[in-house]
């Protein structure tokens, strides 16, 4: 499964034992969910996932060797090669996740699939795998070595990490057509897409943060309304019109996706001619982002 991470610094701070325990628990739960998605839905119906997991499923089918063996062996070299790039804590977290996932698939290997319907298997397998991978990534680990290779090759290639990962997965999903049949390859693509979306949803949650920029002649009124009605702090930035040269006051704030319609309503009530731009952001920390209680 394609996953999104960036190499971390080799400078580490010792984490509190409680935080280490919570991270380990999250990785274990995520890895177990992936094992369930694979062995209960995807693998019995010859539907594969992307990345090293997809390769492992195909090798297991061709050789008859347990899936867990390939999940561990194929990921291990990538972890060793990319150790300096991804950092010690990430490598350990990833190794732990891969071990739990491998053991989980081995333990569940003889459990019967919950459905023989290929579409249901692709959909629910993709959902469960995506949630599991998302939990592992949120906890600071990974379950696939594909991006590690892409990061290493990126230094000597004109292609981006994302482009190389996409190429790897097109090759892997395409190969499934020759091994399992082209209908299974198409179901695999459905499962992969759903898992990808579920990873994103698990990482950012339903309350995905949005950065907001508003340009208006009523900036003060709009800013006050956002603070009073949404409980969000605002920052005023100085701007200048590119055409008119007039000084403009730009409102900047961060809201959640669930507050987007309310903010548009506020802006529309005060100044219908205002300029409003929004952009999704994946991480917010510090400041006064947490919503205040408005009385």
- For residues 101 and 226, what is the distance between their CA atoms, to the nearest angstrom? 46
Asked if pLDDT for residue 231 goes beyond 70, the answer is yes
* Residue 2: closest CA among 136, 166, 155: 166
> In 3-state terms, what secondary structure has residue 118?
helix
> Percentage of the chain surpassing pLDDT 90?
44
> Average pLDDT of 243-259?
81
User: Of 32-36, 226-230, 255-259, 260-264, where does mean pLDDT reach its minimum?
Assistant: 255-259
Interacting residues of 28 by C-beta distance below 8 A, sequence separation 6+: 96, 97, 100
- The model's pLDDT over 88-105, given as tens digits with 9 standing for 90+, comes to 777 888 889 999 999 999
- For residues 56 and 68, what is the distance between their CA atoms, to the nearest angstrom? 8
- For residues 295 and 288, what is the distance between their CA atoms, to the nearest angstrom? 17
User: Residue 6, class by beta-carbon neighbours within 10 Å (0-12 exposed, 13-18 middle, 19+ buried)?
Assistant: exposed
Where along the chain do its domains lie? 17-204, 209-281
Please state, as a whole number, how many other Cβ atoms lie within 10 Å of the Cβ of residue 4.
15
- The model's pLDDT over 112-150, given as tens digits with 9 standing for 90+, comes to 888 999 999 999 999 999 999 989 988 888 888 776 777
Domain 209-281 belongs to what architecture?
Answer: 2-Layer Sandwich (3.30)
Asked if pLDDT for residue 292 goes beyond 50, the answer is no
**pLDDT confidence band for 7 (50 / 70 / 90):** very low
> Percentage of the chain surpassing pLDDT 70?
81
- For residues 160 and 149, what is the distance between their CA atoms, to the nearest angstrom? 12
Task: Identify the pLDDT of residue 286.
Answer: 60
Report whether 65 contacts 59 (CB < 8 A): yes
């Amino acid at each position: 499964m394609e996953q999104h991470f960036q190499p971390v610094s080799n400078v580490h701070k010792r984490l509190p034992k409680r935080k280490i325990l919570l991270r380990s628990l999250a990785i274990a739960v995520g890895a177990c969910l992936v094992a369930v998605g694979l062995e209960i839905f995807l693998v019995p119906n010859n539907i594969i996932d992307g990345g090293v997991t997809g390769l492992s499923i195909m090798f297991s089918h061709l050789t008859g060797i347990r899936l867990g063996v390939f999940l561990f062996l194929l990921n291990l070299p990538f972890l060793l090669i990319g150790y300096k790039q991804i950092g010690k804590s990430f490598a350990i977290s990833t190794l732990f996740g891969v071990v739990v996932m491998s053991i989980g698939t081995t333990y569940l290997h003889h459990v019967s699939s919950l459905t023989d319907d290929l579409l249901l298997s692709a959909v629910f397998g993709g959902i469960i795998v995506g949630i599991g991978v998302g939990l592992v990534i949120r906890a600071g680990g990974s379950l696939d070595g594909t991006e590690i290779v892409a990061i290493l090759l990126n230094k000597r290639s004109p292609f981006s990490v994302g482009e190389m990962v996409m190429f790897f997965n097109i090759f892997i999903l395409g190969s499934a057509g020759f091994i399992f049949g082209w209908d299974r390859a198409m179901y695999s693509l459905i499962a992969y897409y759903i898992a990808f979306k579920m990873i994103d949803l698990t990482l950012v949650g339903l309350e995905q943060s949005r950065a907001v920029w508003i340009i208006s002649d009523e900036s003060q009124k709009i800013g006050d309304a956002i603070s009073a009605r949404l409980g969000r702090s605002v920052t005023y930035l100085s701007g200048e019109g590119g055409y008119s040269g007039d000084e403009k006051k730009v409102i900047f704030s961060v809201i959640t996706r669930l507050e987007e319609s309310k903010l548009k309503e506020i802006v529309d009530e005060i100044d219908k001619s205002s300029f409003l731009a929004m952009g999704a952001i994946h991480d917010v920390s510090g400041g006064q982002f947490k919503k205040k209680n408005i009385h």
